[in-house]
Amino acid sequence: MEIKIEKTDKAAKIALFLDGEEVSHLWVIDYEMRIGSAVMKMGGIAGVWTDEKHRLKGYASKVMEASINYMKEEGYDVSLLFGIPNFYHRFGFATVLPRYRAELEVDKLPSSSGNFELRSYEERFKEAVLEIYSENNKVRTGTLLRSPTKWEGFSHGNEWSSKALPYVLLDGEEVIAYLVFDSVEP
């Protein structure tokens, strides 16, 4: 049994091998997260996987333990993940982020006389969207810093399997708001 760590510029893959075969892995994704006005180095755990024929043998636990040691050695302040219930608590994880859902009855919203236009998000709106995000989240605990050089847009919806449908609200040519819907279909 061997644990290997493969680093990229944005993440590290921690994998467990048996006789040269990869049987379990996860990714530690590098983020910066706000806690109040402080910025912390956060390791986002993603892509936890174990080959079906090797499940229930403790390999995912070994990979989790190796990832926690890796994050300690690399100076991470905090780690978060979205995972299955009743597994990650044994490694010190607890539920911390709420999940919200908003529904609007559009026909009951007040009308506006402004020169507003709702447009699909395009790369040219990135800077304005990042400014709005940063201003609205500058002291909100649990939000991630979005660097213009690292942020790659809206890669998925609330679920990894749902597609993000981002829009911007324009007042003339100025982006004054943005919103992101989850697609109904993956």
- Residue 100, pLDDT > 70, answer yes
pLDDT per position as a tens digit, 120-166: 999 999 999 999 999 999 989 999 999 998 899 998 888 778 899 99
Contact assessment for residue 61 and residue 67, using Cβ atoms and an 8 Å cutoff: no
Report the chain's mean pLDDT, rounded to a whole number.
Answer: 92
Average pLDDT over residues 94-121: 83
108 three-class SS: helix
What is the set of domains in the chain, with CATH numbers? 2-91 (3.40.630.30), 106-182 (no CATH)
- Residue 184, pLDDT > 90, answer no
- Residue 186, pLDDT > 70, answer no
Alpha-helix residue ranges (DSSP H) falling in the chain: 59-73, 126-137
pTM of the shown model: 0.83
pLDDT per position as a tens digit, 51-78: 999 999 999 999 999 999 999 999 999 9
Place of tokens 């956060």: 42
